[in-house]
């Protein structure tokens, strides 16, 4: 069973209008304080309390846990890289950031029939960029050693990308640079959070003169989750290549630090906490 992360009221105008992820009273499982009864919120435990307004999805019980839990990042890929920008067959999609949600965006864009997928990353992301190509990216760019603006112009014949998906964490430069990557009339989806930092040298005139559409993306909704679950259950892609680490439940802090690149000599793309049976 796959549990959606957001708890919404499902009775307000926003929820009834189909945008339950924007409910004014929404909560996110991993952010609910343990002081809220019954206290078994989140999933860093052997047991988890499901509120009555939780949305759940059936999943094949035979799936390994480390693959089943990918329904969340893969769901984000489908929503952020396909549903929100309305990616069409043959579109050129540029994905900024090759983390698990960037890789999920590659998978989703390829499933949607994108004609050209380009992924940017840092020199330290070499392994992830290789994996992006395995999952269907046509080109990857090391922004520290290549001029990404010129390279994207070259790869698109000077036109730019139809869709740019920004999924980097805390880095503000990619938001500014996305304005140069996208074609006139194209769409930028901003999904990577920046800790409320301002974007230096953000030139809004580029939005005006190129008529760029910029959309924010928060969370995943049921349609994205269903597409992700269908893909996982089809077992048609080597998704296990994205999974790098299993941690015992008591090592949750180490898992988080590893994912955040705070452990020397180790790096995680996708990790799983395995509670004792």
pLDDT tens for each residue of 204-214:
999 999 999 99
Q: Are 132 and 102 in contact (CB under 8 A)?
A: yes
Strands 92-96 and 56-57: unpaired
Q: Are 211 and 194 in contact (CB under 8 A)?
A: no
- 216 torsion bin: left (phi>0), alpha (psi -120 to 50), beta (else): beta
Query: Which residues is 6 bridged to in the sheet?
Result: 28
Which residues, at least 6 apart from 15, have a Cβ–Cβ distance to it below 8 Å? Answer: 8, 9, 23
Q: What is the pLDDT of residue 12?
A: 97
Which residues, at least 6 apart from 111, have a Cβ–Cβ distance to it below 8 Å? Answer: 78, 82, 227, 231
Instruction: Give the predicted TM-score (pTM) of the model.
Output: 0.94
User: Residue 110 and residue 122: Cα distance in Å, rounded?
Assistant: 22
Q: What is the pLDDT of residue 274?
A: 87
**What would the pLDDT profile of 50-87 be if each residue is shown by its tens digit?**
999 999 999 999 999 999 999 999 999 999 999 999 99
Q: What is the pLDDT of residue 253?
A: 93
Determine which of 9-18, 53-62, 119-128, 267-276 has the lowest per-residue pLDDT on average: 267-276
User: Residue 167 and residue 104: Cα distance in Å, rounded?
Assistant: 11
Mean pLDDT value of segment 183-206: 97
Mean pLDDT value of segment 264-270: 90
User: Residue 139 and residue 155: Cα distance in Å, rounded?
Assistant: 9
Q: What is the pLDDT of residue 41?
A: 87
Percentage of the chain beyond pLDDT 90 is: 88
- 277 pLDDT higher than 90: no
DSSP secondary structure code for residue 32 in this structure: S
Q: What is the pLDDT of residue 275?
A: 84
User: Residue 75 and residue 191: Cα distance in Å, rounded?
Assistant: 13
Closest CA to 162 of 225, 89, 106: 89
CA–CA distances in Å: residue 64 to residues 21, 60, 70, 209:
28, 9, 10, 49
């Amino acid at each position: 069973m796959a549990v959606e992360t957001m708890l919404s009221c499902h009775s307000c105008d926003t929820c009834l209008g189909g945008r339950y992820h924007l409910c004014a009273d929404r909560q996110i499982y991993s952010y609910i304080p343990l002081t809220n009864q019954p206290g078994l919120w989140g999933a860093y435990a052997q047991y988890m309390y499901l509120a009555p307004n939780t949305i759940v999805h059936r999943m094949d019980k035979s799936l390994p846990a480390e693959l089943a839990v990918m329904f969340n990042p893969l769901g984000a890929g489908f929503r952020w890289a396909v549903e929100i920008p309305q990616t069409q067959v043959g579109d050129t999609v540029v994905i900024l950031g090759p983390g698990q949600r960037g890789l999920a965006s590659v998978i989703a864009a390829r499933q949607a029939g994108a004609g050209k997928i380009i992924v940017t990353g840092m020199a330290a992301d070499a392994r992830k960029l290789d994996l992006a190509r395995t999952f269907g990216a046509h080109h990857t760019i090391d922004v520290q050693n290549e001029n990404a603006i010129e390279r994207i112009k070259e790869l698109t014949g000077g036109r730019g990308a139809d869709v740019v998906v920004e999924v980097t964490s805390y880095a503000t430069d990619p938001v500014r640079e996305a304005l140069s990557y996208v074609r006139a009339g194209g769409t930028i989806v901003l999904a990577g959070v920046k800790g409320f930092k301002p974007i230096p040298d953000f030139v809004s005139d580029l939005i005006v003169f190129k008529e760029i559409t910029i959309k924010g993306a928060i969370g995943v909704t049921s349609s994205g989750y269903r597409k992700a679950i269908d893909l996982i259950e089809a077992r048609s892609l080597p998704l296990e290549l994205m999974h790098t680490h299993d941690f015992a439940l008591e090592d949750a802090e180490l898992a988080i630090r590893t994912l955040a690149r705070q452990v020397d000599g180790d790096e995680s793309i996708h990790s799983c906490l395995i509670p004792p049976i």
